[in-house]
Amino acid sequence: MLRPFHRFDVILILQEFRTSFLAINKGEEVASVGIIANPQSGKDIRRLVALASSFSNNEKVLMLRRVMAGLAAMGLDNILIFNDLGSLGAVAVDGFRHENKNSKAKLFEVDARGETIDSTNAARKLDELGVRCIIVLGGDGTCRAVAKGCGRIPMIPLSTGTNNAFPFSWEGTVAGMAAALYALYPKAYGSEKQVTKQLHVNLNGNSEKALVDIAILKESFYGARAIWDIGRVDSLALTRSEPGRLGLSSLGASLRPIGADEPLGLWLKLGPKSKTNHRVLSPIGPGQVASAQVMEHEIVKPGEAVKYRAPDDRVLAFDGERECLLNKGEDIEISLRLDGPSILNVPAILRKAAIRGDLQMRN
């Protein structure tokens, strides 16, 4: 027997409607996930000079659709995808909607120019929209660009770039599932969020940051943005040096391994061949094992800074890409801080979900 409809039911309904309405308009309390894919990742000159295949845009579209499938399977409906100039987001959303008629996945726009700053602006937009996490498809450079704009929103970085020391090779489907679980139950899965390390350097009053490495190159002009010639590296600062990773961080891994979760960094000074130097072999790219002479290396702790004076004109590269010029005699300080973007541990979230019973369905 149904109970009579009471006036307090009306009050509760109105209160719930008001709460939902305010949450939607403020961008709060509505579980949503943002996705940013870089159409240019995995296609720079390092792929041409190494024995590497490019990460095609078609594969990125399929990866996006797998991410969305994982999100939808966990009941996460509000999916916001960056409408990039390479049309990765547009093609992925169109295909996903074709298979999921009730999908609420939609594109969001920024003033895109086909440059790195597009990812930063997209992250800022997602921060304004109030998403609970951001899934990033790209390499170290893309993750750095997103970190500049995402604020405190945690990310799940998926590797599709050339240098992938920061992002992970997690499968898109499981990444989507983990992102949905965190977005739907942030308190339950908040413990699986980890703050990363960053390198800081002040240049002309502006603070620049790197997630993995800052390289000082023996050059007086930019040329190509990507670095592939180890002989041009003068010095190198690292937040991590994990064995098994490609890129400049492999130089440190061949000498003093440091994990991504260790509160330490590494400073390397390279030089000419000498009996007193450490000669290291490092896999700097697919099919590329380079020999380098390390004159000195030292551990850097959080809050510590390494001072450097340019003996001649130099170029600074952040996470594998040239960006800034240093004039002869110019002084800089590079410091390590524990203030990088937060990342979500996908396997740990799924493990906790199994223990909590969030992956179990009623028959």
- Identify the pLDDT of residue 159: 93
Domain with CATH 2.60.200.30 in the chain: 198-337
Fold type of domain 198-337 = Tumour Suppressor Smad4 (2.60.200)
> Is 210 within 8 Å of 198 (Cβ atoms)?
yes
- Identify the pLDDT of residue 8: 34
Q: What is the pTM of this model?
A: 0.86
SS3 223: coil
pLDDT in tens, 226-279: 666 888 999 999 999 999 998 899 999 999 999 999 999 999 999 988 777 889
Greater confidence, 303 or 21?
A: 303
- Identify the pLDDT of residue 98: 87
- The Cα 172–Cα 64 span in angstroms is 7
pLDDT in tens, 37-60: 998 875 454 445 554 556 688 999
Secondary structure (H, E, C), 155-204: EEEEECCCCCCCCECCCHHHHHHHHHHHHHCHHHHHHHEEECCEEEEEEC
Domain with CATH 3.40.50.10330 in the chain: 17-196+341-356
Greater confidence, 50 or 76?
A: 76
- CA distances for 86 relative to 60, 113, 150, 226, 286, angstroms: 11, 11, 21, 20, 25
Name the pLDDT band for 21 (thresholds 50, 70, 90).
very low
Q: Report the percent of the chain where pLDDT is more than 90.
A: 68
- Tell me whether residue 232 is exposed, middle or buried, using C-beta atoms within 10 angstroms of its C-beta: 0 to 12, 13 to 18, 19 or more: middle
Q: Measure the CA dihedral 93/97/100/103, to 10°.
A: 80
Residues 282-301, mean pLDDT to the nearest whole number: 91
- Identify the pLDDT of residue 30: 78
- Identify the pLDDT of residue 19: 34
- Identify the pLDDT of residue 53: 58
- Which of 7-16, 228-237, 292-301 has the largest mean confidence? 292-301
In the sheet with 342-344, reading across from the earlier edge strand, the strands are 106-108, 78-82, 32-37, 133-138, 155-159, 342-344, 193-195
Asked which of 38-42, 102-106, 303-307 is least confident by mean pLDDT, the reply is 38-42
The overall average pLDDT reported for the chain is: 87
| The Cα angle at residue 40 between residues 35 and 42, in degrees rounded to 5 | 100
DSSP state of 230: G
361 φ/ψ sector (left φ>0, alpha ψ -120 to 50, else beta)? beta
- Tell me whether residue 274 is exposed, middle or buried, using C-beta atoms within 10 angstroms of its C-beta: 0 to 12, 13 to 18, 19 or more: exposed
Residues 167-172, mean pLDDT to the nearest whole number: 95
pLDDT above 70: residue 86:
yes
Say which CATH class 17-196+341-356 falls into.
alpha beta
Provide the strand spans (E) within 220-303: 233-238, 265-270, 278-285, 288-300
> Is 153 within 8 Å of 133 (Cβ atoms)?
yes
- CA distances for 141 relative to 23, 115, 129, 247, 305, angstroms: 34, 11, 24, 12, 23
Q: Kindly state the helix (H) or strand (E) to which residue 18 belongs, with its residue range.
A: helix 7-26
pLDDT in tens, 108-160: 999 988 888 999 999 999 999 999 999 999 999 999 999 999 999 999 999 98
What's the token pair of residue 52? 């590497």
pLDDT above 50: residue 27:
no
> Is 252 within 8 Å of 266 (Cβ atoms)?
yes
What's the token pair of residue 178? 């983990």
- Identify the pLDDT of residue 26: 42
Rounded to 10°, the helix 172-184/57-73 angle is 40
Compute how many other C-beta atoms are within 10 angstroms of the C-beta atom of residue 3.
6
Nearest of 182, 194, 142 to residue 32 by alpha carbon: 182
- Identify the pLDDT of residue 170: 96
Name the pLDDT band for 224 (thresholds 50, 70, 90).
low
- The Cα 301–Cα 296 span in angstroms is 17
152 Cβ neighbours under 8 A, 6+ residues apart: 342
pLDDT above 50: residue 17:
no
Q: Kindly state the helix (H) or strand (E) to which residue 301 belongs, with its residue range.
A: none
Compute how many other C-beta atoms are within 10 angstroms of the C-beta atom of residue 48.
11
With tokens 């380098």, the residue in question is 292
Residues 65-87, mean pLDDT to the nearest whole number: 95
Residues 74-102, mean pLDDT to the nearest whole number: 92
Asked which of 130-144, 160-174, 178-192, 291-305 is least confident by mean pLDDT, the reply is 160-174
